[in-house]
Structure 1
Amino acid sequence: MDRVIQIGCDLPAARFTAAAVDEHPRLLGGVAIHPNDVPPLAAAGRLDDALAEIAELVAHPRIRVVGETGLDYFRTAPEQHAVQQDAFRWHIDLAKRTGLALQIHDRDAHDDVLRILAEEGAPERTVLHCFSGDVAMARECVERGYYLSFAGTVTFSSAHELREALAVVPLDRVLVETDAPYLTPHPFRGATNAPYLVPLTVRRMAAVLGVDVPTLCQAISATSEELYGPW
């Protein structure tokens, strides 16, 4: 791996990302307010200021992604869904206004994520980060022109449905990621994840897609440049 997208999805991480992409030429960046951080910021009266700072940071020429944004109903109470959805819509609009790729976090919120993207009109370059849907959702995303990014979960022995979803995604819509330090691929599941373990995920993905590893790597590299521009 010779190039990385560094994502900062709270304010300290977003500030770090904006500094890191200046220092390291192999990094490009993405910034947003993660959906899990939206309700506490709103409750503290600080959400508007946080979003305003994200809008400033995306002006950096090496910040190429608005994300990760989206919805997370796993850790969010139902009464907090509305503020998450409003922030998601704000990030969608920011990505469209700036011409940047949109990277989406979707946990236990598939229907609402797809609904809001349809209502707002998704940016031309929309990525479902750490895709966790089923075959039907994967097909719908492909039909809409979205990109699907897969993490180490695709290597887990129990992830049959996820591999079935991957199998219906065209090569030019597939991405790979770490979600580091989480979702470490088999056989190191449970250890701290890092980019050096991506080959384990890529090998399993190649087997599912029925292509050799170099072919998949070339496709991912070309798609990454299409999405994020040159490093």
Structure 2
Amino acid sequence: MLFDSHAHLDDNRFDSDRDEVIARAWSEGLTGILNAGTDMATSAQAIKYTEHYPSIYAAVGIHPHDAKDAKDTDYEQLAQWAGLPKVVAIGEIGLDYYYNHSPKEVQQKVCIRQIDVARQTGKPIIIHDRDAHGDILDIIKKEAKGVTGVFHCFSGSLEMAREVIKLGFYVSFAGPVTYKNAAKLQEVAASVPLNRILVETDSPYLTPEPFRGRRNEPARVRLVADTVARLRQMEPAALYQATANNTRELFKII
């Protein structure tokens, strides 16, 4: 019952074997993959995958890296796409102060505009947050009333995770939770309520141990889930089922 709640199958590293990668995911027991857009082009591609592959769903949005290129007409297009049957979220959106490929104030403006699209369309949001914990929390508190979503590839503290959950959001764990130097993240994974946890790969990035350094793919979400299950002293199958149920509940996937 595994569900990869965040992947980027549009990445060119999958161009030579995308069908095989997807087939391998199903053979590993996955029942769904959510492909997240990062700009208008990849969002459009994510929608195409939903039309060609069963059990693949799409999120549409503009990543903070690409915020500088956002146009006013993009928000109307995102809202239109949000009406399609297998488009289940606005994302990934948020703030990234590590790379700062777009100015901070532009990132914030574009994030807020997309939260408004989510509110108008009734969709959850997928939050990217890197080195911007305080500002993204301020935005969520001020601008996202009535909106739910997930902090994908969660990287904050246990205190932050508890605050995020109080605001009605989920936390998602990716490959870094398997890393040896991830004690704080592992504490979060062991401690937060089970009904607020998702698992993901963020493929082709953030490959879990023992494959770190290689291209990631959705089938490897099992390694993430197994680590979270071990940290919580749970049977893996129970963790698979719970996180898949959480993903389907958040994104209203039947």
Smaller-chain TM-score bracket: over 0.9
Could you tell me how far apart the structure 2 residues matched to 1:230 and 1:127 are? 15
Could you tell me how far apart the structure 2 residues matched to 1:198 and 1:106 are? 20
1:33 aligns to what?
62
2:33 aligns to what?
4
SS at structure 2 position matched to 1:188: coil
Any idea what the Cα deviations from partners look like across 1:80-102, whole Å, max 9, x if unmatched?
11111011111111111111111
Per the normalisation by structure 1, the TM-score is 0.93
- 1:116 to partner: Cα distance: 0.6
1:193 aligns to what?
216
Any idea what the Cα deviations from partners look like across 1:64-120, whole Å, max 9, x if unmatched?
11000000111117x811111011111111111111111000000000000011011
Any idea what the Cα deviations from partners look like across 1:35-63, whole Å, max 9, x if unmatched?
11012x15xxxx22333332322221210
Letter in 1 for 2:174: A
Per the normalisation by structure 2, the TM-score is 0.85
Any idea what the Cα deviations from partners look like across 1:180-216, whole Å, max 9, x if unmatched?
0000000100000001111111111001122111111
Q: How does 1:1-231 map to 2 (within 5 A)?
A: 1-39=30-68, 41=69, 47-76=71-100, 80-231=103-254
Could you tell me how far apart the structure 1 residues matched to 2:87 and 2:182 are? 33
Could you tell me how far apart the structure 1 residues matched to 2:92 and 2:157 are? 21
- 1:144 to partner: Cα distance: 1.9
- CA 1:82–1:49 in 2, change beyond 3 Å: closer, same or farther? same
Identity of aligned residues (%): 39
- Alignment size in residue pairs: 225
Could you tell me how far apart the structure 2 residues matched to 1:230 and 1:73 are? 32
Any idea what the Cα deviations from partners look like across 1:101-151, whole Å, max 9, x if unmatched?
110000000000000110113444210011000111111112222100000
Could you tell me how far apart the structure 1 residues matched to 2:35 and 2:81 are? 14
SS at structure 2 position matched to 1:2: strand
Q: CA RMSD in A?
A: 1.5
Could you tell me how far apart the structure 2 residues matched to 1:11 and 1:19 are? 13
Q: Which runs of 5 or more structure 1 residues have no equivalent in the other structure?
A: none
